[in-house]
Structure 1
Amino acid sequence: MEKIQHAFLDIRGLKFHIAEIGTGPAVVFLHGFPEIWYSWRHQMTAVSSAGFRAIAPDFRGYGLSEQPPQPEKTSFKDLLDDLLAILDTLNIQKVFLVGKDFGARVVFHFGLVHPERVAALVTLGVPFLLTGPQAFPTDLPKGFYMLRWQEPGRAEKDFGRFNVKTVVKNIYILFSGSELPTATEDQEIMDLVDESTPLPTWFTEDDLQIYASLYEKSGFRTALQVPYRAWLEEYGVDELKVKVPALLIMGEKDYALKFGGFEDYIRSGIVNKYVPDLEISFLSEGTHFVQEQYPDEVNKLLITFLNKHACITSKE
């Protein structure tokens, strides 16, 4: 951790925070929610020791990256264009992309739009997704957290009853479970966690404090817009086929497997229609935060995959 360097880049009119370590083929890590660059700490040090250059930005409006002037208008395309500008600024022509949660959607989108810039991609917790209103599951309970947080103002009011540290703690606890976080009609999502519930054993109080300090700076305005209120945004491409090698890492106990038939979609091979060159690895006890929960196992899978495809970048 102490060897990870931090810098700020001017990207499309905003100041972006970038964490970086190592030299060699570039691996860019894209976080999910409620994560920031720090969620990749274990992977960054591991891949840098294996001969790669690890880079983890905070998305716009997250962590130490600057808030856009109008957070509520942020789109997934903004994140895509930000990523392209980061690569251009760092003079990276070919990259490995690693995305977790909604960061996976950015990874796949980038692979669709800019395949010539991608050596291979890895996603954790989320497979390739169809987008648009017609693709969103219609059988979800009304109290499901994504539906609640899509409503402007509702999560803000819910979160506002607690300090930032408690909000992040509650979300980590909720998202570490194997059931879809769903509130009853007379509950809000924060009410689903009893204040006496401990953190997951692999997530320390020091980790929580780092997350909290970054969200105290950034707040949740952009984080609630992307992914939750921009979720139905479409890719804007004609062919939904990722043409670069890919690896999907899922925890067997990840609640996301119960979202929209994910598990059958993955295990049946339907996902291969959109990502033909796809490897899939399940970790038996893994949850939605598998890269923090089982860093050694994830690092082994990740480095094996990177080494397998590293010749692609060396030829550029």
Structure 2
Amino acid sequence: MEQIQHNFITVRGLKFHVAELGTGSTVVLFLHGFPEIWYSWRHQMLAMASAGFRAIAPDYRGYGLSDIPPEPEKTTFADIDADLVAILDHLGVDKVFLVAKDFGARPAYLFALFHPHRVSGVITMGVPHVLPAPPKYEQPLPEGFYMSRWKEPGRAEADFGRFDAKTVVRNIYILFSRSEIPIAAENQEVMDLVDASTPLPPWFTEEDLATYGALYEKSGFKTALKVPYRSFDEEFGITDPIVKVPALLIMGCKDYVFKFPGMEEYIKLGKAKELVPDLDIIYLPEGTHFVQEQSLELVNELILDFLKSHI
């Protein structure tokens, strides 16, 4: 990973960490999810640069090596959108392919809706394009549903605060790699769902965990809990939610997101294509929620095929 360059640029009053590799004229902007940072795209960045593309992977505000905003609890998805515009302007990049994972799908599709002239295509993993609104799938799920718990101010802070950052990331990676939705019992917290003896997923090394742990030790989790978990009901004033650029959704068939009420039907019965007419969907039979790390060679191939088809 030594080839990857690590730059810091100041826009909108904050210093952002931006990982970059490659010098091609076609730019791929990678948007991470949680509990991830730029590092989750390390394999893809190397593959894109080797194929002649320029890869850019920023840490969002309050994540990784980027500055923590003065009031993390006021961070919004709109801030992330504006940050991305400012970062690309600073770098002199006019147009990009967006590749996003997990909640990164929302800023990716918001960017495509608000700045369609700057987007060549969108690839998301684990999450399709849905209308920005409070998630409807929360209502039928028990109170211990992890997203419900993490939306509650102070609840996750107290839960996470019992452990160091490395252990929190370890537990979340283990939980999110399973095919069942993380749901705590009434007398449990989400972190209690993972036993200390549970091994890491085979594709996630202790070195990887140490990297994530060190970065979250720096940033903490306050901004990450606000965006996404406490910002899903944010209003954007979108009048036309139809995405008009080519798109690809990569879903692991063992991704726990499929268990969200209504999600499998939304993806598999064609409803996702109502908002993204030019959408292809590819299913990876053994894929979990972290397909870009778990099945890196296959995912790299899928990304490259999409890019080459839409340049």
Q: TM-score, normalised by structure 1?
A: 0.97
Q: Aligned partner of 1:271: which letter?
A: A
2:32–2:100 Cα contact (<8 Å) kept: yes
1:260 CA drift (Å): 3.3
Q: Aligned partner of 2:251: which letter?
A: M
Q: Give the whole-Å Cα distance in 1 for the aligned partners of 2:136 and 2:29.
A: 28
Cα 1:226–1:220 change in 2 (3 A) is: same
Q: Give the whole-Å Cα distance in 2 for the aligned partners of 1:136 and 1:230.
A: 15
Q: Which moved more, 1:23-32 or 1:126-135?
A: 126-135
Q: What does 1:56-75 correspond to in 2, within 5 Å? A: 56-75=57-76
Q: Secondary structure at the match of 2:230?
A: helix
Tell me the residue number matched to 1:18.
18
Q: Secondary structure at the match of 2:68?
A: coil
Alignment root-mean-square deviation, CA: 0.9
Cα 1:134–1:35 change in 2 (3 A) is: closer
Q: Give the whole-Å Cα distance in 2 for the aligned partners of 1:259 and 1:80.
A: 26
2:137–2:262 Cα contact (<8 Å) kept: no
Q: Give the whole-Å Cα distance in 1 for the aligned partners of 2:60 and 2:222.
A: 13
Q: Aligned partner of 1:15: which letter?
A: K
Q: Give the whole-Å Cα distance in 1 for the aligned partners of 2:118 and 2:3.
A: 28
1:12–1:82 Cα contact (<8 Å) kept: yes
2:9–2:17 Cα contact (<8 Å) kept: yes
2:30–2:56 Cα contact (<8 Å) kept: yes
Tell me the residue number matched to 1:128.
129
Q: Aligned partner of 1:282: which letter?
A: Y
Q: Give the whole-Å Cα distance in 2 for the aligned partners of 1:171 and 1:43.
A: 22
Tell me the residue number matched to 2:259.
258
Q: Give the whole-Å Cα distance in 1 for the aligned partners of 2:268 and 2:104.
A: 22
Q: Give the whole-Å Cα distance in 2 for the aligned partners of 1:252 and 1:97.
A: 22
Tell me the residue number matched to 1:37.
38
Tell me the residue number matched to 1:8.
8
Q: Are residue 197 (structure 1) and residue 195 (structure 2) matched?
A: no
Tell me the residue number matched to 1:279.
280
Q: Secondary structure at the match of 1:171?
A: helix
1:136–1:232 Cα contact (<8 Å) kept: no
Tell me the residue number matched to 2:301.
300
Q: Secondary structure at the match of 1:38?
A: helix
Q: What does 1:107-122 correspond to in 2, within 5 Å? A: 107-122=108-123
Tell me the residue number matched to 2:149.
148
1:2 CA drift (Å): 1.2
Tell me the residue number matched to 1:314.
none
Q: What does 1:166-181 correspond to in 2, within 5 Å? A: 166-181=167-182
Q: Aligned partner of 1:289: which letter?
A: F
How many positions carry a matched residue from both structures?
Answer: 310
Q: Secondary structure at the match of 1:133?
A: coil
Q: Give the whole-Å Cα distance in 1 for the aligned partners of 2:182 and 2:132.
A: 22
1:134 CA drift (Å): 7.2
Q: Are residue 229 (structure 1) and residue 225 (structure 2) matched?
A: no
State the Cα deviation string for residues 36-83 of structure 1 (Å, max 9, x = none): 000000000001111100000000000000000000000000000000
2:28–2:99 Cα contact (<8 Å) kept: yes
Q: Give the whole-Å Cα distance in 2 for the aligned partners of 1:26 and 1:68.
A: 27
Consecutive unaligned residues in structure 1, runs of 5 or more = 311-316
Give me the identity figure in percent: 65
Q: Aligned partner of 2:62: which letter?
A: G
Q: Which moved more, 1:229-238 or 1:57-66?
A: 229-238
Q: Which moved more, 1:235-244 or 1:216-225?
A: 235-244
State the Cα deviation string for residues 184-203 of structure 1 (Å, max 9, x = none): 00000000001100000000
1:131 CA drift (Å): 2.1
1:262 CA drift (Å): 1.3
Q: Give the whole-Å Cα distance in 2 for the aligned partners of 1:152 and 1:102.
A: 19
2:252–2:283 Cα contact (<8 Å) kept: yes
Cα 1:41–1:190 change in 2 (3 A) is: same
1:251–1:282 Cα contact (<8 Å) kept: yes
1:133 CA drift (Å): 3.1
Tell me the residue number matched to 2:210.
209
Tell me the residue number matched to 1:313.
none
Consecutive unaligned residues in structure 2, runs of 5 or more = none
Q: Give the whole-Å Cα distance in 1 for the aligned partners of 2:134 and 2:309.
A: 37
Q: Give the whole-Å Cα distance in 2 for the aligned partners of 1:137 and 1:34.
A: 20
Q: Secondary structure at the match of 1:279?
A: strand
Q: Give the whole-Å Cα distance in 1 for the aligned partners of 2:140 and 2:112.
A: 30
2:129–2:272 Cα contact (<8 Å) kept: yes
Q: Secondary structure at the match of 1:195?
A: coil
Q: TM-score, normalised by structure 2?
A: 0.98
Q: Give the whole-Å Cα distance in 1 for the aligned partners of 2:235 and 2:124.
A: 19
1:163 CA drift (Å): 1.1
Q: Aligned partner of 2:21: which letter?
A: I
